[in-house]
Amino acid sequence: MKKFGNTYRFLPYIPEHKRKNEWIDDVTHLVNTYNKDNITRTNAYQTFFHLHPEVKWSFLASMVSRNAGWNMTDLKGDTFPKILCDDTCNLLFRTYERANWSIFQDAFPQLLLYHYSTIYKKKMFHLSEDFHVSKFMEEEWNRFWEEGDEKRLVQSLIINEQHLIQGPVIEQDPYKGKVFSTALFFMEDHLHFSSVLFPTLQGELYGASVHGFRKVENRIKLGNLLFEILFHPDYHRDFLEFAERVEHTGSRADYETFCQYVHGTDTPNLQQAYNVISHDWKERDDWSMNTEIKDDWYNHQSLPSDIILTDWFVNKQRQLRNLAAVKGAFKWIWPWGKEKKRRA
């Protein structure tokens, strides 16, 4: 009964016999409600996974979304504002936020179509087009309903999300011209664009990075690798325990408090650092209509030997503090943001 009550509060029952446009409006309202900011998105993904553990992508999405929140609050912490100017920090926040919002706006309707399909005991994926979901994913959800291949569904959602943000974020101004094609991206390792961390209550940080973040194939490969790490039988329980016990605030303090040798980055809670911002999606093309789906996007990713990134993270934080100290000592113009010259 408790589980039913929690489910109802999260995803209330929508009668199947409603008119189509009313049903779509109700689902759209749920999507918009949970797509307010990084905190609401992360919590929605995780709660959905508890309702439907067979949809493993939703847990992966929640953990990657946690990383996005930590990246956002880094820009309001005690280090990055000493390295980057305000305009650059704001642009980077908008980049993370836009990608985070875009993926949720596309993926959560898909999750809801699946949820209500299980409630009605019949497929509802024929409504995918009404939510601007790609034809590729409509076919994959129908396939999942018939075959139940949980891993393939995860991989398909990874393929979809990375193609989804390629045009509107990676290749779209202002992000393309001012972030991904500039000297700023020289710092991609420091800025954690290409690294994702999975914390544990034991203070270890697992994860992976990718080089060539701008290429969709590389991000798909990273997503598949992160899935293998997150659901590896040796580690999955630890990651799930962390997610269930540690509330996502957006601050790196969420996990740094468990890391014995990590110097705290003093980042604020996300909802204290940023106001809610609005988005729109004027044009939504179906990427799958002009893209060949490659078989190797579904390849199994074997775990590398260095998935424990605790020492790596400690070193990165040390490098950032040193970089901030150097910038404080030398008042030069950095390629990652203009500064006003001060008069002597």
Q: What's the rounded Cα separation, in Å, for the pair 166 and 253?
A: 31
The Cα–Cα gap between 53 and 73 comes to: 29
Q: What is the pLDDT of residue 321?
A: 85
Token pair, residue 33, equals 């409600």
Phi, psi of 315 (to 5 degrees): -65, -40
User: Is residue 177's pLDDT more than 70?
Assistant: no
Instruction: Please name the amino acid found at residue 54.
Output: E
The stretch 89-98 carries a mean pLDDT of 90
More confident residue, 187 or 343: 187
pLDDT of residue 329: 55
Question: Is the pLDDT confidence value at 144 over 90?
Answer: yes
Question: What value does the mean pLDDT take over residues 244-255?
Answer: 97
Q: Which residues contact 77 (CB under 8 A, 6 or more apart)?
A: 252, 265, 266, 267, 268
Q: What is the pTM of this model?
A: 0.90
* Mean pLDDT, residues 181-204 taken together: 71
Q: Please tell me the predicted confidence (pLDDT) of residue 318.
A: 87
Arithmetic mean of pLDDT, 237-242: 98
pLDDT band at 324 (very low <50, low <70, confident <90, very high): confident
Q: Which residues of 131-163 are buried (b: 16+ CB within 10 A; e: fewer)?
A: bebbebbbebbeebbeeeeeeebbbbbbbbbbb
Report CA torsion sign: 212, 215, 216, 217: negative
Q: Domain-by-domain residue ranges, the chain?
A: 2-277+293-329
According to the model, what pLDDT value does residue 178 have?
A: 47
pLDDT above 60 (res 322) = yes
Banded pLDDT at 175 (limits 50, 70, 90): very low
State the Cα–Cα distance between residues 46 and 49, nearest whole angstrom. 5
Q: What is the mean pLDDT of residues 283-292?
A: 91
